[in-house]
Structure 1
Amino acid sequence: MSLSENEKTISFALEGFSWNTAGNFARSFAGFVINIVLARLLGPEPFGVVALALLVIGVGNLVIESGLGSALVQQKEIDRQDIAFVFTLQMAFGIGLAVIFAILSPWLAEQFVAPTAAPVLQVMAIILVLQAFAQVPSALLRRKLDFKHLQIAQITSFFIGYLGFGLPLAFAGFGVWSLVAAQIIQSGLNALMVFIFSRFSPAFTLKRARHLTRFGLQILAANIANWIIQNIDQAVVGQRFGVKNLGFYSRAYFLNWTPTGIILTSAQTSIFSAVSRMGKGTDTIRIFRGFMSAFAIFFFPIYWLIAMESTSIIQIIYGNEWMPAAALLKPLAVAMPFLALVGLEGPVLNGLGKPQYEMQAQWVTAFFAILVLTIAAQFSIQATAWSIVIIYIFRLFILSVMTIKVLKISWMQLLRPILSGLFMGILTVAVWNLSNYFFTAKITDILLSFARSTVVIFTWMLVFWIGRAWLFPEFSTLVNLIKRDKKES
């Protein structure tokens, strides 16, 4: 592939990243506000019940996708039979798993000591069918780098689901069913819209496409391990400490995931599509290291500031009823930058057609996570939350080993952008503690929190501005690519 074609691909990828970020920001910011209102209206337990349902649905969705949607994006050439084969399998999986999920719902509710959750789980099983229907159309849009229409579908369905149904039903006193209705309507509308935008014509066949299934199964294995790593903590909390504590934990995780999800999911889809087209080379390494630097510079200081201000954040956002979540928000915030950095490595490996490397790294981490969480849960829910820090650091190390091997780069090339961000995070903690020491005036906790945060952010901006050229060269490279893209457009 010539340089001009690579530059065109990078331009499309950056444009897709912009659309994804804008769409995710709009949806996540609205979701953030809506969830605050719902949390104050409904309390912790309904969120715990829905979190339990989404755990199981998440597993089902992995099986439904089976890595086949990613295979449609990654393969250089596909035909109608490939598309029909993937659609047939995914719909069969979706319908079959929905039936199984509905049948097992009473047993699942009993395992988590939440018998009233059974009907909720049974009704939410329909989401598996809706998500199955959306898989192929979404993959075809990603293949074309048409992130604009993907975001329109996701934003529109979210607002209609939650603003049109979730909030009104919550105010009307429907409790947990307001959350259920919002989830189902959102999934249904999203499936309908991506179907229309992709101009997909459904067809069915079981004629095997080996080139897709081989790649897809490796992606599936990696995704299952990834799901275990990112959700086993909620399963352990729900089973060991009850649904109400799961509500506290899930909201603390939600607060941390919201900023991460806005940016990370945008970058992942763009990087995967771009790397799939460009292949291994200097441009892929530049894009990867640039995103690593940007993520490290942003996530370490922001999240470690959130960790320091966890008590004030929970009190301001959710109120006194949710204060137990503050002790969980802190460790999860410390861990989140490591999750964000890991999230950039998988798309590179998969885009280069090496999903087996991510699969191996994720399964090693999954077994490690199960061991660490099992031990931590014997002590307390707070210990369980702190164990996430250990798990995510271990995960970053293992996946970095695989990324270095595939890209053929040195440890220093990978570590440099991470260390620059880590420096900013340590600086954030140091300045926060100094501010806390010097602000001795008798002011309210909220004003004290605002004063400390203002000093930290000002210091962060000053250091970044002064040292951006020599502290963050990889980030500067990414900025130059974006500037070039804007000039050419």
Structure 2
Amino acid sequence: MKNDELSASAERAVKWSVFTTMARFGLQLGSQIALARLLGPDVYGVYGIGMTVLTFVAFLSGASFSWNLMLLPKVTDEDIRLSFTWQMLIGVACAVAMWLAAPWIASFFSDPRVAGMVQLLAIASALTAASATATCLLQRELDFRSLGLIQIGSYAIGYLGVGVVLALRGYGATSLGVAAVVQAAVVLVATCAVRRHPVRPLLRHAGSDTLSTGRIVFFTNVVNWCLNNLDRVVIGRVLNTHSVGVYNLAYNVASIPNTLLVGAVQPTLLSTGAKLQDDHGRLGEGWSRAVAAVLVIATPMAVAAALLSHDLVAFVYGPAWGDAGWVLAALFLCVPAWASWGMSTPVLWNAQRKSSECLLQLPVLAVAAGLWFWAAHEGVRYVAAASVLVMFTRAAVMVVAVLRRLHLRWTGVGVALLRGGSLALLCGAGVLLGQHLAGSDAAPLARLLAGAVVGTAPAPFVLILAPQWLGRDALAVLSRMLPFLSKPTSPLAAAAVPGAS
């Protein structure tokens, strides 16, 4: 594929991915609010423990052996058959192990309800493994239109069409487990219908590094799962399901902006980067622009969201979830670090550093495990604070690794961080002013609206009066996502010309 064609395909893919990801997480937020209000923190905590186990199994079996299909310059039917065969072998084995271990897991967390939840999610795990090959092929082909629409439809059917209905009828935590199974089943049927592929078993294929890549992905996923979920395991073991529910809700909400950013861009970076493995210059240019834009745009959003968290939880989820406000505020601050880490991963993989992600994070994991265990004895807020420190450390390690591998200067990242930090101070001050004007005794909705309106008020003034403050990379990204800003008469377009600061 020619450079212009590749760039055009990647841009279309990002736009579709952004659109469908935003729609999917709009559905996710709506269903989470409904289910959280219907079920409460304790029941939601049972689901959170089950999802922690499912995430672990999904990391082991989900796409370990299909990921290689996105990294290969060319893919043959033998590559697909080999990936699918090993994907199914590992996926079914992990699902069976998850089912059999359910009683022990319930005993570990001292809650018998966990057993049934884990067994339901074991079924979802096997279905997810079966759809991994078709999903990776759609990502490789940059068909994010089909993939995004499938994700939207499956979530709507699973959680809104089934989960909420069962919750209303009093099925409790079971409603969430059944919703996960239905969603995974819809994804499997739809992806295999849209992207058919050979399924005849193949255990060996001369010249293929699928098994080698699969092993690396496997161990990398184990490390990532530990860093992403060990905090909840420790909470469930040391504290209780109520604390798990509070933390899990806050984590899910705080991760939505990160998934919007990384979920929309990371697969495109991975698939496009596979075609640029020998062109580190273009690979580094794409990564630098993406990370700079994230730091400038996401940092003020994260700070504003953190300051609004208490009022958001009080208004949306109700008084039963009051403890989640502080945790949500802390985790919102992680959004820029989350996104920077997520965008660095595919670049290292395409820069012939497949093992770096795993090896670089092992020391972080060793320290994080002890830190979380100590923090859990002090309370859920301490665990959230520890998670913030861990996430920023992970991001710093990965960003430095990319800078060194691609021989890039750190000044670009540093300048973007300063730009984002200055905007964060401006937006944060606006949020605090709006809340102050509303008054401490005002209803949560009034404080939320006042803080949001005053906090975001500086944005149009920056775009109109001082767009160069955002920097060229952030301006370029904004103009591509919002086409009207790229018109010749737009001050944003004028500031994004070569040579702009």
Class of the TM-score when normalised by the shorter of the 2 chains: over 0.9
AA at the equivalent of 1:387: A
8 Å Cα contact 2:262-2:343 kept in structure 1:
yes
SS of the residue 1:94 aligns to? helix
Do structure 1's residue 286 and structure 2's residue 285 form an aligned pair? yes
Q: Of 164, 181, 190, which residue of structure 2 is paired with 1:184?
A: 181
Q: Of 22, 30, 34, which residue of structure 2 is paired with 1:33?
A: 30
AA at the equivalent of 1:241: L
> Structure 2 length normalisation: TM-score?
0.91
Q: Which position in structure 1 is the counterpart of 2:43?
A: 46
Worse-superposed segment, 352-361 or 310-319: 352-361
1:448 CA displacement? 3.1
8 Å Cα contact 1:286-1:477 kept in structure 2:
no
- Residue 36 and residue 444 in structure 1: after superposition, are their counterparts in 2 closer, same or farther (change >3 A)? closer
In the alignment, the residues of structure 2 paired with residue 123 and residue 221 of structure 1 have an alpha-carbon distance, to the nearest angstrom, of 25
1:219 CA displacement? 2.7
- Write 1 or 2 for the structure with the bigger share of helix: 1
- Residue 413 and residue 128 in structure 1: after superposition, are their counterparts in 2 closer, same or farther (change >3 A)? same
Do structure 1's residue 350 and structure 2's residue 334 form an aligned pair? no
Question: Aligned runs of 1:183-332 on 2, under 5 Å?
Answer: 183-208=180-205, 210-279=208-277, 280-332=279-331
1:434 CA displacement? 4.3
- Residue 180 and residue 65 in structure 1: after superposition, are their counterparts in 2 closer, same or farther (change >3 A)? closer
Q: Which position in structure 2 is the counterpart of 1:341?
A: 340
In the alignment, the residues of structure 2 paired with residue 470 and residue 301 of structure 1 have an alpha-carbon distance, to the nearest angstrom, of 13
1:172 CA displacement? 1.4
8 Å Cα contact 1:293-1:421 kept in structure 2:
no
8 Å Cα contact 2:433-2:454 kept in structure 1:
no
1:297 CA displacement? 2.5
Do structure 1's residue 70 and structure 2's residue 67 form an aligned pair? yes
- Residue 36 and residue 438 in structure 1: after superposition, are their counterparts in 2 closer, same or farther (change >3 A)? closer
5+ residue gaps, structure 2, are 488-501
Do structure 1's residue 88 and structure 2's residue 85 form an aligned pair? yes
Worse-superposed segment, 120-129 or 57-66: 57-66
In the alignment, the residues of structure 1 paired with residue 464 and residue 371 of structure 2 have an alpha-carbon distance, to the nearest angstrom, of 40
8 Å Cα contact 1:273-1:351 kept in structure 2:
no
Q: Which position in structure 1 is the counterpart of 2:499?
A: none
- Residue 69 and residue 416 in structure 1: after superposition, are their counterparts in 2 closer, same or farther (change >3 A)? farther
SS of the residue 1:278 aligns to? coil
- Residue 53 and residue 169 in structure 1: after superposition, are their counterparts in 2 closer, same or farther (change >3 A)? same
Q: Which position in structure 1 is the counterpart of 2:389?
A: 390
1:398 CA displacement? 0.8
In the alignment, the residues of structure 1 paired with residue 395 and residue 422 of structure 2 have an alpha-carbon distance, to the nearest angstrom, of 17
Q: Which position in structure 1 is the counterpart of 2:425?
A: 426
In the alignment, the residues of structure 2 paired with residue 163 and residue 430 of structure 1 have an alpha-carbon distance, to the nearest angstrom, of 37
- Residue 478 and residue 168 in structure 1: after superposition, are their counterparts in 2 closer, same or farther (change >3 A)? closer
In the alignment, the residues of structure 2 paired with residue 229 and residue 441 of structure 1 have an alpha-carbon distance, to the nearest angstrom, of 37
AA at the equivalent of 2:252: F
Q: Of 163, 166, 169, which residue of structure 1 is paired with 2:166?
A: 169
5+ residue gaps, structure 1, are none
1:85 CA displacement? 1.3
1:335 CA displacement? 2.1
8 Å Cα contact 1:293-1:420 kept in structure 2:
no
SS of the residue 2:202 aligns to? coil
1:431 CA displacement? 3.3
1:154 CA displacement? 1.1
> Residue deviations 1:401-437, cap 9 Å, x none?
2101121101112322233212222322233344455
1:449 CA displacement? 3.2
8 Å Cα contact 2:80-2:198 kept in structure 1:
no
1:250 CA displacement? 0.6
Worse-superposed segment, 212-221 or 31-40: 212-221
1:480 CA displacement? 6.2
1:481 CA displacement? 6.4
- Residue 443 and residue 242 in structure 1: after superposition, are their counterparts in 2 closer, same or farther (change >3 A)? closer
In the alignment, the residues of structure 2 paired with residue 160 and residue 440 of structure 1 have an alpha-carbon distance, to the nearest angstrom, of 41
1:348 CA displacement? 1.3
In the alignment, the residues of structure 1 paired with residue 83 and residue 53 of structure 2 have an alpha-carbon distance, to the nearest angstrom, of 22
1:322 CA displacement? 0.9
Superposition CA RMSD, Å:
2.2
1:353 CA displacement? 3.2
> Structure 1 length normalisation: TM-score?
0.93
Q: Which position in structure 1 is the counterpart of 2:58?
A: 61
In the alignment, the residues of structure 2 paired with residue 186 and residue 470 of structure 1 have an alpha-carbon distance, to the nearest angstrom, of 43
Do structure 1's residue 8 and structure 2's residue 11 form an aligned pair? no
In the alignment, the residues of structure 2 paired with residue 136 and residue 441 of structure 1 have an alpha-carbon distance, to the nearest angstrom, of 53
- Residue 39 and residue 471 in structure 1: after superposition, are their counterparts in 2 closer, same or farther (change >3 A)? closer
8 Å Cα contact 1:59-1:224 kept in structure 2:
yes
In the alignment, the residues of structure 2 paired with residue 419 and residue 214 of structure 1 have an alpha-carbon distance, to the nearest angstrom, of 41
Do structure 1's residue 145 and structure 2's residue 164 form an aligned pair? no
1:104 CA displacement? 0.8
AA at the equivalent of 1:152: L
In the alignment, the residues of structure 2 paired with residue 84 and residue 103 of structure 1 have an alpha-carbon distance, to the nearest angstrom, of 29
In the alignment, the residues of structure 1 paired with residue 107 and residue 78 of structure 2 have an alpha-carbon distance, to the nearest angstrom, of 43
> Residue deviations 1:150-182, cap 9 Å, x none?
112111111111222111111111111111111
8 Å Cα contact 2:330-2:388 kept in structure 1:
yes
> Residue deviations 1:62-81, cap 9 Å, x none?
22146322211111123222
> Residue deviations 1:20-58, cap 9 Å, x none?
111111111011111111111111122211111111111
1:114 CA displacement? 0.9
8 Å Cα contact 1:372-1:391 kept in structure 2:
no
Q: Which position in structure 2 is the counterpart of 1:405?
A: 404
8 Å Cα contact 2:430-2:455 kept in structure 1:
yes
In the alignment, the residues of structure 2 paired with residue 443 and residue 122 of structure 1 have an alpha-carbon distance, to the nearest angstrom, of 45
The aligned length equals: 483
